[in-house]
């Protein structure tokens, strides 16, 4: 059974989700459920909503992101899979792997038939090509189908040459991925779809709840449809009225409203039959502020947060700060938030190479390639993160000045040759 509930996130979808879980647990406290969400942030939010705010009994309720679900199914398939269908391991890689592979292909193929041969060294070409190929992969469009469409004249003739180049690269990357046993998270998801019908984890669930997505890739949609064939599925789909929601509405109408789907709009089913007049006319309050750099922006943000807490009665956990890119603010916001005594949690992290221990690892890994440059050697052995072995365990960092004196005494200005000469 496929049930589809649509409406605004708060309070409609949240309240109906709580009621759905409470109703299922009231009928049978041991009934197994799975709640699937698109992000880790939303997963934590639902755990807080059900556990803390509503004190629900959640025995055998599984909170999983899309990727965590695929990982669980893949692990289960490897553990209990049938012997007549061996499972091939898939090593997950990121976008950088494919961008680098594309750059190598473009550098090696300088033939006249390659439409990108003259632009092989152009900055940004590999990432741009990869974004296009990634869209084709997410839509599960096979390279052979695309190339056949070119032969049949289904594309604009003026773009045929470049499209043939893109589709050829798509086919080459797909062959490389299969040969090397690597792939993206969506490839992992695609590989576990045939396992759904045999999965003990899916078969034991009384219901699978999908919550909070307004658009998903074709791979995730195929997984959802396959799960719906194996067990009961309820989808909580955030949907508003107006131009801003047209994209979600098109996806909703085209891919989810199908024959056999039970649809219920929950927007007007909470409390009274219609929302209060104040809710109908409410619009977000927008304020545009000019600030001097990231520090100025964060200082204003902290003062605004303090105003909402002290004067308007908000709680700390009810306030969120959103930015297009948090990395720009990362060097400043811990210090500024702590100066204003504001508790915070963030999904962003500092790059590893900005951490002192990361810098030491990087220099240590590059010593041999850089012929033991004296500056890098000195940076490694004088770092508090460097530890010797045996008798040197305590002496290296304590006698760092000895290394400095030795380098000056033996006049080590080059690399490995100077070190070997002074031995």
pLDDT, position 76: 92
- Whole-model pTM: value is 0.66
Strand-pair partners of 62: 34
Section 196-218 average pLDDT? 92
Domain with residue 228: its CATH number is 3.40.50.300
Q: What is the DSSP string of 328-352?
A: GTTTTHHHHHHHTT-----S----G
Kindly calculate the radius of gyration of the chain based on its CA atoms and give it in whole angstroms.
28
On the question of pLDDT at 233 being above 60, the answer is yes
| Residue 179 sits in the same domain as residue 193 | no
Q: Tell me the per-residue pLDDT of 94-134, one tens digit each, with 9 for 90 and over.
A: 888 898 888 888 877 666 566 676 555 566 788 888 889 98
Split into its structural domains, the chain has a count of 4
The three-point CA angle 151-190-4 to 5° equals: 105
| Residue 56 sits in the same domain as residue 202 | yes
Last residue in a domain, options 183, 211, 238? 183
High-pLDDT (> 70) share of the chain, %: 82
Domain assignment present for 280: no
Q: How confident is the model at residue 258 (pLDDT cuts 50, 70, 90)?
A: confident
Residue 76's CB: how many other CB atoms inside 10 A? 17
**Sign of dihedral through CA atoms 267, 23, 195, 87?**
positive
**Sign of dihedral through CA atoms 169, 172, 174, 180?**
negative
Domain assignment present for 113: yes
Last residue in a domain, options 154, 183, 212? 183
| Residue 74 sits in the same domain as residue 196 | yes
Q: How confident is the model at residue 18 (pLDDT cuts 50, 70, 90)?
A: very high
Instruction: Name the residue among 49, 62, 44 with its Cα closest to residue 16.
Output: 49
Domain assignment present for 346: no
Domain assignment present for 121: yes
Distance from CA of residue 360 to its chain's centroid? Answer: 28
| Residue 105 sits in the same domain as residue 168 | yes
Domain assignment present for 87: no
On the question of pLDDT at 406 being above 50, the answer is yes
pLDDT, position 125: 81
Q: Who wins on pLDDT, 356 or 305?
A: 305
The three-point CA angle 75-80-43 to 5° equals: 35
pLDDT, position 280: 46
Q: Who wins on pLDDT, 188 or 407?
A: 188
Residue 376 domain boundaries: 353-421
| Residue 64 sits in the same domain as residue 195 | yes
Last residue in a domain, options 126, 150, 183? 183
On the question of pLDDT at 396 being above 70, the answer is no
- For the chain, the average pLDDT equals 82
pLDDT, position 286: 79
| Residue 358 sits in the same domain as residue 407 | yes
pLDDT, position 415: 65
Q: How far apart are CA 166 and CA 211, in angstroms?
A: 35
Domain assignment present for 205: yes
| Residue 28 sits in the same domain as residue 151 | no
Section 392-398 average pLDDT? 53
| Residue 362 sits in the same domain as residue 395 | yes
| Residue 72 sits in the same domain as residue 201 | yes
Section 38-55 average pLDDT? 91
Domain assignment present for 221: yes
Least confident of 9-18, 54-63, 305-314, 354-363: 354-363
**Dihedral class, residue 102 (left if φ above 0, else alpha if ψ from -120 to 50, else beta):** alpha
| Residue 144 sits in the same domain as residue 11 | no
Q: Who wins on pLDDT, 202 or 382?
A: 202
On the question of pLDDT at 390 being above 60, the answer is no
| Residue 98 sits in the same domain as residue 226 | no
On the question of pLDDT at 340 being above 50, the answer is yes
Domain assignment present for 62: yes
| Residue 16 sits in the same domain as residue 35 | yes
């Amino acid at each position: 059974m496929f049930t589809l509930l649509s409406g605004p996130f708060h309070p409609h979808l949240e309240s109906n989700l709580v009621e759905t879980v409470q109703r299922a647990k009231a009928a049978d406290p041991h009934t197994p459920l799975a709640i699937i969400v698109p992000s880790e942030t939303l997963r934590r939010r639902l755990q807080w909503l059900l556990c803390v705010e509503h004190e629900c009994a959640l025995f055998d309720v599984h909170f999983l992101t899309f990727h965590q679900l695929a990982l669980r199914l893949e692990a289960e398939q490897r553990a209990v899979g049938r012997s007549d269908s061996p499972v091939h391991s898939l090593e997950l890689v990121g976008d950088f792997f494919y961008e680098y592979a594309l750059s190598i292909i473009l550098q090696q193929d300088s033939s006249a038939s390659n439409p990108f041969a003259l632009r092989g060294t152009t900055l940004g070409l590999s990432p741009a090509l990869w974004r296009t190929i990634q869209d084709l992969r997410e839509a599960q469009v096979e390279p052979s189908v695309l190339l056949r469409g070119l032969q049949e004249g289904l594309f604009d003739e003026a773009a045929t040459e470049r499209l043939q180049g893109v589709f050829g690269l798509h086919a080459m990357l797909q062959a490389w991925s299969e040969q090397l046993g690597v792939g993206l998270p969506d490839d992992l998801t695609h590989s576990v779809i045939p396992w759904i019908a045999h999965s003990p984890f899916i078969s034991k669930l009384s219901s699978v709840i999908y919550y909070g997505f307004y658009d998903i890739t074709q791979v995730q949609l195929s997984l959802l449809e396959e799960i719906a064939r194996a067990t009961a599925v309820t989808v909580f789909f955030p949907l508003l009225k107006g131009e801003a929601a047209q994209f979600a509405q098109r996806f909703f109408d085209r891919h989810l409203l199908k024959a056999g789907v039970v649809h219920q709009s929950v927007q007007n089913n909470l409390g009274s039959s219609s929302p209060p007049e104040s809710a109908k006319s409410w619009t977000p309050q927008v304020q545009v502020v000019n600030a001097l750099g990231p520090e100025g922006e964060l200082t204003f943000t902290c003062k605004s947060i303090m105003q909402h807490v002290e004067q308007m009665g908000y709680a700390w956990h009810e306030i969120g700060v959103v930015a297009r890119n948090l990395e720009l603010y990362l060097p400043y916001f811990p210090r500024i938030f702590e100066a204003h005594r504001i508790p915070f949690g963030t999904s962003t992290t500092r790059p590893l190479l900005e951490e002192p221990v990361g810098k030491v690892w990087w220099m240590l890994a590059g010593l041999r390639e850089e012929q033991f440059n004296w500056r890098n050697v000195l940076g490694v052995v004088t770092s508090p993160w460097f530890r010797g072995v045996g008798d040197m365990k305590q002496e290296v960092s304590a006698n760092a000045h000895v290394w400095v004196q030795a380098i000056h005494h033996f006049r080590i200005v080059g690399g490995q040759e100077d070190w070997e000469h002074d031995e």
